[in-house]
Amino acid sequence: MISKVVTPLLKPAGRNYSRVVSINGKDYKVPIDFQEPEYDMDHLQNSSKVILLRHANTVFNLEHDLFLASNGYVRDVLDIQYEEKHRDTPLSEFGVEQAKYASRFARGLDIDLVLISPLRRTLQTAYYLLRTHPNKENMNYVVHPDIREHLVGVSEMTENWENKFIDEYQYYFPNLDSSLMRDEYGQCNELFYCKDMQPELRVKFRGKTRDEIEQLIRESAEQRFPRTSELLECTYDRVKRVKKYIKKHIRNRDERDQHKKVLVITHSLLLKVWTGSWAGMTRPYKGLPNDSLLFSNCEFHPDTKSKYE
């Protein structure tokens, strides 16, 4: 059980404190407003065939949230978002323990398909979450580029994705499918994360190197802050495609497997897009629906809003 120990560790110039959270017998410093996930197994098992999960806590999450808690200078977050050390950010030590803790609840879910964002933090979460699952060998694991995070900073940018994927993950999962990461010629799309930028920015990408493209994204982020360089409607369209993919999978299941779950391991902003009610909103979207769900790190929710049958 995750236990709360509310202990102020520092008193910065800002208005908030940090505190200590104990998980799996280890203590970690987190922001005072850190929300610990709750796990309602009855709700997860009986509410929907699709379970949504945000990845566990990352190195970037921890630094970003502690910075805001201690300073409150939102604009300066841009500096953190584009620090090279946060490229494709991995799980923090705390995040690894979160995923291990959540694994005891994942073991109670009868899963046949796991969709995983291609970013390191979601792949790591999948590994620590499911490595002890009793049905691990029979699940299908699909790396799906359409559930990557809405691009906000370098933590959404990868480097040498295919090589790192082969080196770090292909042996972790028995049935890991990365075919959706390839184009019609079988080549891995290493710049998958900048596909859905603002149209005027995409025009500037033509003929540019990877470094030049990423510099253009950084400059756009600075100019547009707090708006992002990726279109909300593009993220919404990605979510629609994934829901169709899941619907097809459920429709094609054997009758005896209709009770099984699809687990989607993805990201905070994408999940806000996924869970919001967009009916009546017109493009270009200026913001998220008011009923979008905010997921804590490593928090499960059944997708009760979407129709898959």
Contact 239, 270 (CB under 8 A): yes
Structural domain contains residue 105: yes
Q: What is the CA radius of gyration of the chain?
A: 19
Q: What is the 3-state secondary structure (H, E, C) of the chain?
A: CCEEECCCCCCCCCCCCEEEEEECCEEEEEECCCCCCCCCHHHHHHCCCEEEEECCCEHHHHHHHHHHHHCCCHHHHHHHHCCHHHCCCCECHHHHHHHHHHHHHHCCCCEEEEEECCCHHHHHHHHHHHCCCCCHHHCEEEECHHHCCCCCCHHHCCCCHHHHHHHHCCCCCCCEECHHHECCCCCECCCHHHCCECHHHHHHHCCCCHHHHHHHHHHHHHHHCCCCCECHHHHHHHHHHHHHHHHHHHHCCCHHHCCCEEEEEECHHHHHHHHCCCCCCCCCCCCCCCCCCCCCCCCEEECCCCCCC
Residue 134: inside a domain: yes
Q: How far is CA 261 from the centre of its chain?
A: 19
Q: Name the nearest CA neighbour of 180 among 98, 107, 256, 118.
A: 118
Classify residue 119: in a domain, yes or no. yes
Which residue, 266, 194, 271, is CA-closest to 229? 194
Q: Find all residues with CB under 8 Å of 37, minimum gap 6, and list them.
A: 98, 102, 296, 297, 298, 299, 300
Q: What are the CA-CA distances from residue 243 to residues 48, 248, 263 (Å)? A: 13, 9, 12
**Number of domains the chain is built from:** 1
Of 112, 53, 93, 116, nearest in space to 268 by CA: 53
Query: Which is nearest to 191 in space by CA: 216, 157, 223?
Result: 157
Residue 9 forms part of a structural domain:
no
Return d(Cα 62, Cα 279) in angstroms, integer: 34
Residue by residue, pLDDT tens for the chain (309 residues) are 333 333 333 334 444 457 788 888 888 877 777 777 878 888 888 889 999 999 999 998 888 777 766 665 555 666 677 778 888 999 999 999 999 999 999 999 999 999 999 999 999 999 999 999 999 999 999 999 999 999 888 888 888 888 777 777 877 887 889 999 887 667 788 888 887 777 788 888 888 888 888 888 888 877 777 677 788 898 999 999 999 999 999 999 888 888 899 999 999 999 999 999 998 888 878 889 999 999 999 999 999 999 887
Residue 119, both tokens: 């970013």
Match 């080196």 to its residue by tokens.
167
Is residue 33 in a domain?
no
User: 275 is in which domain, residue-wise?
Assistant: 39-302
| Tally of residues, the chain | 309
pLDDT recorded at residue 14: 45
Which CATH number characterizes residue 138's domain?
Answer: 3.40.50.1240
Does a structural domain hold residue 290?
A: yes
Dihedral sign from CA coordinates of 298, 303, 308, 309: positive
pLDDT at res. 76: 60
- On whether residue 7 sits in a domain, the answer given is no
Q: Is residue 8 part of a domain?
A: no
Measured distance CA(54)–CA(303) in Å, rounded = 13
Residues with Cβ within 8 Å of 135's Cβ and at least 6 positions away in sequence, in order, are 110, 111, 112
